[in-house]
Amino acid sequence: MESFATTVALIGIVIVVASLLSGVLERSGFPVVAVFLALGAVLGPFGLNYVDIGFESPALHALAMLGLALLLFSDAVTLDLKAVRAQKPLLWRLLGPGTIIPAALVTFAARSLLDVSWPAAAILGAALASTDPVLLRSVLRSRSFPAVPRTALRIETGVNDVVLLPVVVLSILALQGAADGDGVTGTEVTRTIIGLFILGPGLGALVGWIGIILLEKIRSRVGVRRDYESLYALGLAFTGFALAESVGGSGFLAAFAAGLLVASQDVELCDCFLEYGEATAEMLLLLTFVALGTSLIWTGFAVIDFPTIVFSVIALVARTVVLYPVLTAGHVTGRDRRLIAFFGPRGLSTLLLTLLPVFAGVAGSERLFSIACVAVLMSVVVHGGGIAVFLRKNSPRGASALPLPGDAPVVFSGTPAAVGTPAEDKVKVEAKKRGALPVAGDTGDFGVPDVANKITIKEVKELRTSGDEVVIVDSRADRNRNGSDTQAADSVRIHPDDPVRDATEKRLSQRATLVVYCA
């Protein structure tokens, strides 16, 4: 039986397990989704019978809706628009024939094999054309993954749900009209289209625009605490979602539009603004996997028969079959083409899209969800296993070895310089000389870094003149680094996601003064 205490305990368990296993799972490449589905099974009726979350669960409804909204927001806000513009032909191939044709093929397969109506088949086609960002997170974070496939898959996972969501919503409307016996009126279709394509994106973009301007102005004048700035991302996502839903618009498209507007503004964003929203979305999505893993995802085994298995195989291979010629026409060949075409897992985004008709009360929608579960479970095995093999084969030698506590590794800490500091007067860097300076990153009451922890170009030159060993470290996030045309001379690149390991591999001196710039 589900209760408030049970729900809170479930949240705590997911956070603890995700935190403790994060390093092991990242280095092993083992599908994180499989772990949390198994955790759900252990907690559910098939295991300890601690909790059984069904379709009617308010917790599942909230997790699915907010998780999808935050996922769309974080995907949009972390899009590298410069890379998107540079890969515009690839973008259109991925979102045009690369998304629509597989969706159409799966729709026809569902109609032919599963004895469902055209609107129901369209829901399955759209949901199973959605590339899952959760299963792809580990491979997209791997530095051994080539740049072109990384950009292509980030674009696809960040944007293709926006193409597919309207198909699901309009199909739900058609099924509801058929159930009423009166069909769908032109007024209902018009109202839905306006909500999807005008109200939702318009209100979301407005929230994102106002929100980022307010943040920039207040941060530059009085300062904003870093921890609250990270929470600000969640506020924008949920505000856009709620505002659009309250007036009949699409909250999901509103959340995406809000994130896209934030990404398009040429303002300096604290890394925590992006990372906290992404981490929170990931926790919500993993929690949703656990909730579904208690019993619902296993309903797929109840509908397994020969047509369902054939349909699931078609759903998994349709994207690969379509993308091979599409990418070849776009001059993407060789290893890049193989990686883009294969790494198209179906996962939580598929399940969330097929949950929408269930939450809308559409008759027969629970069977659609169970059918989608079969394909998702197959994808976790096939695509998840493929990702694990790739990461194991391509991980750099020694990357899995963490420094021991007694090794005294180099310590890095990133705190952006105050907004508005003239570049010619103050470099956006921080320095720490072991035993000589305070730890870089100490901040005042308003989150503005203490001046003592910054260093000017003149001071760097003086250190070098005095004979001190000085290492300039570039620890900017990929988003900020790729979007900048400037770089400090003779700087060493240390990736902010794993600075200790990176510094150890590059054998940076532990006796040097490390001058780190991260903004």
The string of pLDDT tens digits covering residues 228-262 is 776 787 888 899 999 998 888 888 889 889 988 88
- Compute the mean pLDDT over every residue in the chain, rounded to the nearest whole number: 78
For 253, the enclosing helix (H) or strand (E) is: helix 251-264
Question: One-letter amino acid identity for 437?
Answer: L
Indicate the pLDDT class of residue 117, thresholds 50, 70 and 90.
very high
Q: What is the pLDDT of residues 53-69, one digit of tens each?
A: 888 888 888 888 887 78
Q: Are residues 357 and 463 in the same domain?
A: no
Residue that has been written with the tokens 């369902």 in this structure: 308
Q: Are residues 185 and 282 in the same domain?
A: yes
Which of 5-9, 219-223, 251-255, 440-444 has maximum average pLDDT?
Answer: 251-255
3-class state of residue 201 by DSSP: helix
Q: What is the reported pTM?
A: 0.74
pLDDT at 449: 39
Q: Are residues 230 and 342 in the same domain?
A: yes
**417's tokens:** 């310089």
Q: What is the pLDDT of residues 83-97, one digit of tens each?
A: 777 778 888 888 889
Please determine, for residue 423, whether its predicted confidence score (pLDDT) is greater than 60. Answer: no
29-38, 73-82, 329-338, 408-417: which range is least confident on average?
408-417
458/278: higher pLDDT: 458
3-class state of residue 445 by DSSP: coil
Determine contact, residues 277/211, Cβ cutoff 8 Å: no
- Choose one of 340, 368, 394: the last residue of a domain: 394
Task: Find residue 471's DSSP bridge partners.
Answer: 514
Residue 400 located in a structural domain: no
- The share of the chain scoring above pLDDT 90, in percent, equals 24
Residue 399 located in a structural domain: no
Indicate the pLDDT class of residue 272, thresholds 50, 70 and 90.
low
- Choose one of 348, 366, 394: the last residue of a domain: 394
Q: Are residues 386 and 411 in the same domain?
A: no
Q: What is the pLDDT of residues 193-220, one digit of tens each?
A: 888 888 889 999 999 999 888 888 888 7
- Buried b / exposed e across 22-58, counting CB within 10 Å, b at 16+? eeebbbbbbbbbbbbbebbbebbeeeeeebbbeeebe
Please determine, for residue 2, whether its predicted confidence score (pLDDT) is greater than 70. Answer: no
Q: What is the mean pLDDT of residues 67-76?
A: 80
pLDDT at 112: 95
- Sort residue 345 into left (φ over 0), alpha (ψ -120 to 50) or beta: beta
Dihedral angle sign, alpha carbons of residues 45, 48, 49, 53: negative
Q: What is the pLDDT of residues 479-492, one digit of tens each?
A: 666 666 677 777 88
- In sequence order, the 6+-apart residues with CB closer than 8 A to the CB of 217 are none
Q: What is the mean pLDDT of residues 350-373?
A: 93
Q: Are residues 442 and 345 in the same domain?
A: no
Please determine, for residue 286, whether its predicted confidence score (pLDDT) is greater than 90. Answer: no
Instruction: Quote the number of domains for the chain.
Output: 2
Determine contact, residues 87/128, Cβ cutoff 8 Å: no
Residue 206 located in a structural domain: yes
Determine contact, residues 414/441, Cβ cutoff 8 Å: yes
Q: Are residues 380 and 426 in the same domain?
A: no
Which CATH number belongs to the domain containing residue 74 in this structure? 1.20.1530.20
21 vs 11: CA distance, rounded Å = 16
Residue 186 located in a structural domain: yes
Q: Are residues 137 and 238 in the same domain?
A: yes
439 vs 431: CA distance, rounded Å = 8
Q: Are residues 389 and 412 in the same domain?
A: no
Q: Are residues 93 and 242 in the same domain?
A: yes
365/264: higher pLDDT: 365
Q: What is the pLDDT of residues 144-189, one digit of tens each?
A: 888 888 888 888 887 888 889 899 999 999 998 887 766 677 777 8
Would you mind telling me the total number of residues written for the chain in this entry?
A: 519
- Choose one of 358, 373, 394: the last residue of a domain: 394
Q: Are residues 159 and 248 in the same domain?
A: yes
Domain that holds residue 420: 405-517
Indicate the pLDDT class of residue 428, thresholds 50, 70 and 90.
very low
pLDDT at 114: 95
Q: Are residues 85 and 133 in the same domain?
A: yes
pLDDT at 267: 61
Please determine, for residue 331, whether its predicted confidence score (pLDDT) is greater than 60. Answer: yes
Residue 304 located in a structural domain: yes
Q: Are residues 379 and 441 in the same domain?
A: no
74 vs 98: CA distance, rounded Å = 22
Residue 449 DSSP class: B
Residue 37 located in a structural domain: yes
Residue 163 located in a structural domain: yes
Please determine, for residue 104, whether its predicted confidence score (pLDDT) is greater than 60. Answer: yes
Residue 432 located in a structural domain: yes
Cα Rg of the chain, angstroms: 24
Cα distances from 383 to residues 81, 136, 327, 502, in angstroms, run 27, 9, 20, 28
318 vs 314: CA distance, rounded Å = 6
